[in-house]
A and B are shown apart, each in its own frame.
Chain A
Amino acid sequence: MAATESLSGPNDLDERERAAVESLLYRLADDEFVIADRYTDWQVRAPTVESDIAIANIAQDELGHARLWYDLLEDFGHSEPDLIWERDPETFRHSTLCELPFAEGDWADAIVRSYFYDEAEHLRLEALEESSYPRIRDRVGKIVGEEGYHREHAENWLRRLVSGEEGRERVQEAVDELFPYALTLFEETEDDEAIDDLGLRTRTLSAMREEWIETVTGTLTEIGIDARAPETDEDGQVLTGELPDHVGRDGDHTDHWATHYDEITNTYRELGRDHAARLMEDPDDE
């Protein structure tokens, strides 16, 4: 893709530019926020103390990334309550991969999901390193390093899990279940043409999906797990039959999301809050 001229700050964008930037940011922020909150289900319940600390670490990284992306949306005048606490849950744009609950003890699901997600996240961030929107570019650098660790973590665990019969079966089940949901990470919205045109990202979703499919099916086959590439039409779009009923990117979610969102906002509603505390000091940095 040809190098695009750099866009300016949030206040100088025209309507089309702003819609494209926001659309991209909502997906980034919502994915990270929702999958992070799901991962916290494993905190103090993971198989070993070490894996417990690792999954907590990953959840926190993703929450931190959500913070960075939501902050960029705040540049457009949205407050945290607008973006999270008082938002219509049907306007969340995360992929449905992020919202599925974990069955108790299904660590294979956590690992496969994180593997799928982090491989996709890696490609997505690479495509943002040269984004024409400077504030996105600046933040990508902070995130890339952490995602490397996440991928290593997931792949390491995959190899260990498939070494036993039960683990192999469970990984296979998780792959069968989650693969269609993972494809939704690459589903397009009406804004994607503008996103590519404006150089907000330097690779299209289809190109990223193609590489993602090659990588994950390659790795899974190598470790003895069946995974096949989904069928596509002439334009390289995944056939609808290969996708789950709810895609997420268009605001259409599984029923799990409504329940999950209700739990997330429980305190906020119980206390009748109208603002969200921003802590001056990040407790990690003090």
Chain B
Amino acid sequence: MDLDTVKERAGPRQFSPDDDMPRKYREAATRMIQFHANSEIMGAYLERPFIREAPSLDRKLAYSAKTQDELGHGQLLYRAAESLGIKTREQMLDELANGEGKFLNCFHYPMESWVETPMIAFFVDGAAMRRQATLKRTSWEPYAHAMDKVVFEEGFHIKHGESILKELATGSKKEQEMVQDAFELWWPRIIQFFGPTDDDSTHHDFSAEVGLKQMTNDELRQSFLNQYLPKAEKYGLEIPDTPTIEQDEDGNYRVAEDELDWEEFFQIAKNEYDPGRGQIDSRKRAHDAVEWVRDTLDEYETTTSGHAPQAAD
């Protein structure tokens, strides 16, 4: 299929592995889905220590379920990316382990206290939900199909995140102050989640033309602010002064983006932000430490010529 035909036919769930897609489409879709899959894994990696530190048995259960779901999303998404024929799953996982794989800005920041967990589990996941909901209509069918499950499960994660936030925001004075501090620390990062305004986004135009992306960063940010500013206020969180956010007469939010630290953002985007390197490097160590198991599995599968037991992984 040539690019003009792709653009002409681009629509929700329009293309599948049965179609002969041009390389440019396959590369753009791979980049997007791989980024998404990597983010699922690195988000789970960031949150994992809080399964242990969750302050109730039910919260521990819910948190453990959440990280497991996210691994499952990663698995689904790598498959959807693999179906484009550009990279194998192993390549993508190796790239992630080696610090070449890109992932969401928010998951580069270390998280040190339970009071920070709703910043991810409510606000960042809520922001991600804005985007993911639109991706149910992306043009690469396996990606859209994965989104059905992802969006469904993310809904529960956000509800749990909201429940954690509510508990802290209605808790002791100390808890309320701690959660406000965490909010102030995370808020600019959360706003940056959607990236800079569309003019600066390098990949958007093509992705939109071929139906991979359904909404611009700016539209997504508007939608997020519409929904989450009132929620933050509902839980008594004070919206930080930076960045300045104003509503114009049509009700649209204007974010003073130049007040945000884009140098840090782009450093993160290149996996060069120091604290984030810590996350990437420690995950690499964990990944390398079980290399021997993957080698053993490969050998086992070769010697049993593919008749390895499949029942339990």
Give the B-binding residues of A (Cβ under 8 A). Answer: 33, 37, 40, 43-54, 56-57, 59-60, 63-64, 66-67, 70, 80, 84-85, 104-105, 107, 149, 152-153, 156-157, 159-161, 163-164, 166-167, 170, 263-264, 266-268, 270-273, 276-279, 282-284, 286
A-B pairs with beta carbons under 8 Å apart, 6 shown? A43-B67, A44-B67, A56-B67, A67-B58, A153-B313, A282-B61
List 13 additional contacts besides A50-B313, A159-B309, A264-B53; criterion CB under 8 Å: A50-B75, A54-B312, A60-B64, A63-B61, A85-B55, A105-B286, A105-B289, A167-B296, A267-B54, A267-B113, A271-B175, A279-B160, A283-B159
How far apart sit A161 and B285, CA to CA, in the bound complex (Å)?
Answer: 21
- Chain B, residues 282-313, CB within 8 Å of chain A (1/0): the string is 01011111101111110110011000110111
Give Cα distance in the complex from A153 to B313, angstroms: 7
- The reply to whether A59 and B294 contact each other, CB–CB distance below 8 Å, is no
Q: Which residue of A47, A271, A273, A284 is within 8 Å of B290 (Cβ)?
A: A47
One digit per residue, 1 when the CB lies within 8 angstroms of any chain A CB and 0 when it does not, for chain B 101-142 equals 000000000000111000000000000000000000000000
Residue contact B286 to A104, C-beta cutoff 8 Å: yes
Kindly list chain A residues whose C-beta atoms are within 8 Å of the C-beta of B204.
none
CA A66 – CA B58 in complex, angstroms?
Answer: 11
Question: Contacts A40-B64, A43-B67, A271-B114; is A156 near B311 (CB within 8 Å)?
Answer: yes
Q: Known interface pairs A52-B71, A283-B159. Does A107 touch B55 (Cβ–Cβ under 8 Å)? A: no
Whether B169 sits at the interface, judged by CB under 8 Å, is: no
Q: Which residue of B lies closest to A284 (CB)?
A: B65
| Chain A residues near B157 (CB-CB < 8 A) | 283
Question: B262 interface residue, CB < 8 Å from A?
Answer: no
Q: Is the CB of B48 within 8 A of A44?
A: yes
Task: Tell me which residues across on chain A come within 8 A of B230, comparing CB atoms.
Answer: none
Is A60 a contact partner of B65 (Cβ separation < 8 A)?
yes
For B57, what are the chain A residues with a Cβ–Cβ distance below 8 Å?
33, 63, 66-67, 70, 80, 84, 276
B56 within 8 A of A: yes
Shortest distance in angstroms between B172's beta carbon and chain A's nearest beta carbon? 6
Whether a CB of chain A sits under 8 angstroms from the CB of B100 is no
Least Cβ–Cβ distance between A92 and chain B, in angstroms: 14
**Nearest CB in chain A to that of B167: its residue:** A277
Complexed CA–CA distance, A164 and B167 (Å) = 50
Question: Residue B45 at the A interface, CB < 8 A?
Answer: yes
In order of increasing CB-CB distance, the 5 nearest A-B pairs are A105-B289, A276-B56, A50-B313, A56-B68, A47-B293
- Where the two chains meet, the residues of B that have a C-beta atom closer than 8 Å to any C-beta of A are 41, 44-45, 48, 50-62, 64-68, 71-72, 74-75, 78, 93, 113-115, 156-157, 159-160, 163, 167, 171-172, 174-175, 178, 283, 285-290, 292-297, 299-300, 303-304, 308-309, 311-313
A79 to chain B, nearest CB (A): 11
Q: How far is the CA of A268 from the CA of B56 in the complex (A)?
A: 8
Whether A107 lies near B160 (C-beta < 8 A) is no
Chain A residues, Cβ within 8 Å of B52? 37, 40, 263-264
* Complex CA–CA separation, A46 to B289 (angstroms): 9
Neighbour of B294 across the interface among A48, A52, A264, CB < 8 A: A48
- B62 with A40: CB separation less than 8 A: no
CA distance A160 to B60 in the complex (A): 31
Q: With the chains together, A70 CA to B58 CA distance in Å?
A: 12
Contact among A43, A47, A284, A286 for B297, CB-based, below 8 A: A47
* A161 and B293 within 8 A (CB): yes
Asked if A43 contacts B294 (CB within 8 A), the reply is no
Tell me the bound Cα distance from A214 to B175 in angstroms: 53
Complexed CA–CA distance, A84 and B52 (Å)? 13
- Closest CB-CB distance, B303 to chain A, in whole Å? 7
Closest to A168 in B: B296
Say yes or no: B312 contacts A279, CB within 8 Å: no
B59: A residues at CB distance < 8 A: 277, 279
With both beta carbons as reference points, the residue of chain A lying nearest to B313 in the complex is identified as A50
